[in-house]
């Protein structure tokens, strides 16, 4: 019984350490397939397309809303990803975007 509890504890601990890495990886993969063409690999934005760079310090809520609802501001038109990406996928992309701004 004690051995089984130890195995369960170690398994849970291992899973908790791996989960952020998986989310980070999927966020990077989603960014590469859906965002990079306009926002560039480093998030600096495509000046030719009039896509601005990601702002350092932009709150997650603002990035999540823009990703879900899209952006239509003057020449900038970003599609909405609500219904195309899950909330978890959007959260993962936003977490990845936050790493680009450092």
Domain ranges of the chain: 20-100
Count of CB atoms situated within 10 Å of the CB of 23: 17
Identify any residues that bridge with 82 across adjacent strands, giving them in sequence order.
Answer: 85
According to CATH, the superfamily of the domain at 20-100 is Cytochrome c-like domain (1.10.760.10)
The DSSP line for 84-102 is TB-HHHHHHHHHHHHHHT-
Closest by CA to 84, choosing from 66, 64, 100, 67, is 67
pTM: 0.71
Contact of 68 with 91, CB cutoff 8 Å: no
With cut-offs at 50, 70 and 90, classify the pLDDT of residue 10: very low
**pLDDT, tens digit (0-9, with 9 covering 90-100), for 40-97:** 999 999 999 888 898 877 899 999 999 999 998 877 789 999 999 999 999 999 999 9
**pLDDT, tens digit (0-9, with 9 covering 90-100), for 11-36:** 444 444 444 544 445 999 999 999 99
């Amino acid at each position: 019984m004690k051995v089984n509890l130890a195995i369960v504890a170690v398994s849970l601990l291992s899973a908790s350490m791996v989960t952020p890495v998986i989310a980070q990886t999927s966020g990077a993969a989603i960014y590469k397939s859906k965002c990079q063409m306009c926002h560039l690999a480093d998030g600096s934005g495509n000046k030719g397309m009039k896509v601005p760079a990601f702002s350092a310090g932009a709150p997650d809520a603002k990035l999540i809303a823009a990703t879900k609802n899209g952006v239509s501001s003057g020449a900038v038109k970003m599609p909405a990803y609500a219904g195309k990406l899950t909330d978890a996928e959007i959260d993962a992309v936003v977490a990845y975007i936050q790493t680009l701004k450092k």
